[in-house]
Structure 1
Amino acid sequence: MTLTIWVDDWQIQCCGESFTPGDVVSWKLLEVDPEDYADIVGSERAREIDFREEHHGEGEGQDPTLVEVVSVAEVHCRYGVPQGATDNMNCPVPGTTVLVPVDEADGWAKARPDVRFVGYLVTARQARGGNSDDASGAEPPRSPS
């Protein structure tokens, strides 16, 4: 089973570990609401995101899931104040996404004109076994049908 996982830039910058395609990683995976990512990656691609990686408190008590990284793409998009907004809060500007396939995710990305690095889209598959002491090898959480 192939999964698409969102990894926030700040999560890996803060205390995450770099990873590359072929690595087996142990991540806490939380289900996502595709609408949370629609402005960043577009509605169609957002519907493909199954989970997000989390290691800063949410999902306490949930076992990590062991996955093998298949591919990684940096996600960049433009931010701006929406037209008609009453505050100056910057938000993702729909339709400005730039995906950059990479060989390593370390939380940092080369600056690109007019867009900002916001995270990674990771394609992965559930791993069997592995080298992590804290990995449960548990099934990824299932979405209610």
Structure 2
Amino acid sequence: DLKALLGHLDIPIGAFTPEVAVHFGGPVEPSRGFLLHTADYVGDPDTLRIDDRFAVTATVDAIKDLSRGLGPKTSLLALGYAGWAAGQLEAEIRANGWLICEAEFDLVFSPDNGAKWAAALASIGVDPTLLSGQAGRA
């Protein structure tokens, strides 16, 4: 959780430090953190606003702001990331390698990570029991 991470980073835990889970974001640079958060927070010029609901900040200053209770209203913290070469993800999407749904606020920030996959599938009308483990082309 965030408080344990703060201890590792020698950042003081404040009276208003929220309870924030730390997620595994992927195998690339596991010590690098990314804070996906509500757009109400702009920590520094490096905050990337995605839309009017979401933003992402990848600086330790955002973690320090969280520790003081000055961070975003809602956030999800991940260490590490998964990476793709330029154009690779787009090509995988075109090849139907991914199912895509809208990034609904409640889905993204739900604390029930175990239910997110099924909820994302349900949002696009997919019953996971009907999915096949085999791929092919018609």
Higher helix content, 1 or 2:
2
Higher strand content, 1 or 2:
1
Bigger Cα Rg = 2
TM-score normalised to structure 2 length: 0.28
